Amino acid sequence: MDKIVINGKRRLSGEISVQGAKNSVLPILVATLLVNGVSVIHNCPCLSDVDATVKILEYLGCTVKREGHTVIIDSSDVNRFDVPDNLMREMRSSIVFLGGILGRMGKAELSAPGGCEIGLRPIDLHLTAMEQFGATIDSSGGAVLCNASEGLHGAHINLSFPSVGATENIILAAVLAEGTTTITNAAREPEICDLADFLNRCGAKIHGAGDGTVTVEGVKKLHGTEHTVIPDRIVASTYMIAAAMTGGRLCLKDVIPSHIGPVFSPLREAGCDITVSGRWICLEAPRRLRRIKMIRTMPYPGFPTDVQAQIMALTTVAEGTSVIVENIFESRFKHIGEFLRFGAKISAEGRMAVVEGVKELHPAFVKATDLRGGIAMVLEGLCAEGETTVSDIYHIDRGYEEPENVFSFLGADVKRMTDNERKEVKPEEIILS
Ligand code: UD1
């Protein structure tokens, strides 16, 4: 299994553009199932979650071609409605196939997605919504069988929580359903808007994406189109935090600053100078970061749960005591145990963590616990003098495209090592016991 090895204490500096958004591209790829014809998706990041999604599309009967960051999907011959267990397990968010397959085929059979590294991921909101469209659900045999033999009809669906995945599934099921669907308390994340933009280009009639209320007027069919995925706001935030933690200076080009806005205010509170101009963001870090009094993760436009681990990494080296409350997932503090190995001072109870910043971190040998927790460990390593190793980086590869190259480009000493690559040991490093 690959590892990332970091020689820390180098200041990051430079200009980068940011990969396409993982959380946009996955539902958009699923949405191509609803199209009669060819979809061309640009700015598609090379990630293991994208590979897993493509495998499922191919299993369902799509022909998929990849040319660099462009994916071309011909969905003319979709002929299956089931996703087998091994493919479901490859990607945590595969539940979003439910609305896509049901909308295209009138029925869907998915093995039940299990828990994941950041806690249980219940799908009650997804299933109740599909029932409101007129589908029947049978989840007795470990798989979810969803059947809409009479076709799907528009519904008024009020979400008790603005779930991103449930909002996406409802939109996917609604675009070809008979009549109009209204979603209230819908998720407002930029990735929902990107999905709606793609579908509208294909001929769907979706209004209000990005607001709490989304209306979808069902249409008879969708045609193929070209679409460019939005830049990844979580990856952008991660690199900004990395620059902040190393006392660096970073400019991000071709990003959508408003999407990253929720992360600006804690970074400014920590003493970073952030300037925005058009599609550029520049960050200049202070000599020593200050504490961030309180961070609460919230649905968009609140502070993203997907940046919680990275901002916690920042607070471990900031002056003073910071408090972080995780409101979205019940078990998203697994990285804390690994942070402690760097000498971080953190105590946590339930959904709250109290971080007392230290002046210096020391290098450590740590294991990525999940995608965002894993990259946050790399950030810790960037701040620690000496060699840090982060193992189990398959988690990181789900969402970050070649992070070792991005960090190296910015001046860090970060390498990927495969199991076959034995580290060269210099004679002076051999300690005889
Ligand atoms: C998406 C993102 C993920 C992000 C999360 C929250 C993708 C591929 N993933 O995940 O990176 O961390 O949004 O911004 O876009 N819930 C229920 N019942 C349900 C559905 C959700 O109780 O039927 C709960 C979940 O357990 C969780 C909360 O709602 O506590 C948020 O989940 P949700 O917004 O659905 O996240 P995902 O779509 O899974």
**Band of the pLDDT at 427, cuts 50, 70, 90?**
very low
pLDDT tens digits for range 104-142: 999 999 986 654 565 556 889 999 999 999 999 998 877
Query: Which of 49, 160, 164 gets mutated to test ligand 1 (max ligand atoms within 8 A of its CB)?
Result: 164
Mean pLDDT for 317-332 is 95
CA distance to 90, 131, 223, 384, 398, per residue, from 93 (Å) = 9, 20, 25, 33, 11
Query: Which of 328, 331, 371, 396 gets mutated to test ligand 1 (max ligand atoms within 8 A of its CB)?
Result: 328
| Residue 311 contacts residue 270 (beta carbons within 8 Å) | no
Ligand 1 atom at minimum distance from 162 CA? 34
d(CA 417, CA 102): 42
Q: Which residues are catalytic?
A: 116
Q: How many residues does the chain have?
A: 433
This prediction's pTM: 0.95
CA distance to 4, 39, 66, 173, 375, per residue, from 72 (Å) = 32, 6, 6, 22, 30
d(CA 41, CA 62): 14
Dihedral angle over CA of 64, 68, 69, 72, nearest 10: -20
**Band of the pLDDT at 143, cuts 50, 70, 90?**
confident
Which of 185, 169, 193, 166 lies closest to 256, judged by CA?
A: 193
**Band of the pLDDT at 423, cuts 50, 70, 90?**
low
pLDDT tens digits for range 374-411: 999 999 999 999 999 999 999 999 999 999 999 999 99
365 CB neighbour count, 10 Å cutoff: 13
pLDDT for the residue 120: 58
Joined tokens for residue 425: 């040991």
Query: Quick one: DSSP state of residue 82?
Result: E
